[in-house]
Amino acid sequence: MSCGSKWNVPSTAAYKIVRLASGVHSVHSLAHRETFHPVIGPVAEAEALYVKQLRLPERMASHTGEFIVWDVGLGAAANVLTVLRATRAARCPLRVISFDHTLEPLKFALEHATTLGYFTGYEAIVQTFLRDRECNFTDTDRAIHWQLHLGDFPAFLARQSTHESQTTQSPPSPPLGGGEGRGEVAPSGVRQPVAGDNIKPRENIALSTLNCSFPAPHAILFDAFSPAKNPAMWTAPLFASLFRHLDPSRPCALPTYSRSTMLRVSLLLAGFFVGAGHATGEKEETTIAANTLDLISEPLDQKWLQRARNSTSAEPLWEPVYRQAPLSDETWEKLRQHPQFK
């Protein structure tokens, strides 16, 4: 194993390190045949797609009480660690809840921390997180609680909806996979976990077995593998269930790397307001959804609505099976009635 390799670094049968055109390194999933943050790299993409687009430093700076982030698609943790580093000046407590069905990409990335470069200062914290499935620590003057839900995300939403509203949801779907790393010396102000810290071991019991409930988020980092590879994470029922988990009185936004018409229609039908998201690398546009228009700078308009009407790939996925289809008449009528287009 060579952490300094410029190209591919074999380590396991499931993942490898690849060098991107930008010169930085990322993790590649051999099973899904997809690279995490494939164009501009883990940190640059996380900064553009999540930190800047969600205005996290500004929102946290003016926030009182605990700020809640749902990290949907933990992967190799580049999104979380980039958010932690970019918002260190904030003083409000931060709670991050990461969702994924496996910790293998994170374990693999930690083995290649020097090559990946984004773990620096958080190595011991990530090790504690991997061991205990959660970690409480202090970053400058801010208290951070990082939790893990290890399991199937669609099934988690379905269980929570059943528990809270006694409504029947769709059966469990295939697991998600997401995007993202490790380092060595703590940046100034980060205190690594030490004996006596309030770090609660989970005794290797996944939180998914505890029928736990999490607080509604202020921000969602949505980073699942693509619909073609992981359709269960992009269905209309999933986004509808996710929207129901939001607190109407708590502004929340969800950016993601896709700009597909199918995705945007799914989000709109779920109840979100939807807009064009910031460019990242070669992507001229991404997508941002929110439960309030105040968090969207470029809402989709009537011109987009007409393009969706004419698209051959706009009908949402109603089942966890990938396919492409134009809008049905029923979906079109529902879409036209959305408050965003009134």
Q: What is the DSSP string of 264-327?
A: HHHHHHHT-EEEEEPPBTTBS-EEEEESSGGG-SSB--HHHHHHHHH-SS-SPBSSSS----PP
**223 in Cβ contact with 191 (< 8 Å):** no
CA–CA distance, 251 with 267 (Å, rounded to integer): 16
CA-wise closest residue to 94 among 71, 122, 123: 71
**Residue type present at position 3:** C
Bridge partners for 148 per DSSP: 98
Burial of residue 206, with CB atoms counted within 10 A of its CB: 0-12 exposed, 13-18 middle, 19 or more buried: middle
DSSP alpha helices (H): ranges in the chain?
Answer: 42-46, 56-61, 78-86, 104-111, 113-116, 123-132, 153-165, 236-244, 261-270, 302-310, 329-336
Nearest Cα residue to 215 out of 247, 169, 167, 176: 247
**Residue 150, by phi and psi: left (phi above 0), alpha (psi -120 to 50) or beta?**
beta
Residue 165: the pLDDT is 55
Collect the ranges in the chain with pLDDT lower than 50: 1-11, 167-211
Per-residue pLDDT, 38? 79
242 vs 246: CA distance, rounded Å: 7
* Residue 132, helix vs strand vs coil: helix
Q: What is the pLDDT of residue 32?
A: 83
Phi and psi torsions of 74, nearest 5°: -55, -45
Tokens encoding 306:
């007409």
132 alpha-carbon distance from chain centroid:
21
Total-model pTM: 0.83
54 Rama class: left (phi>0) / alpha (psi -120 to 50) / beta: alpha
DSSP 8-state symbol, 133: S
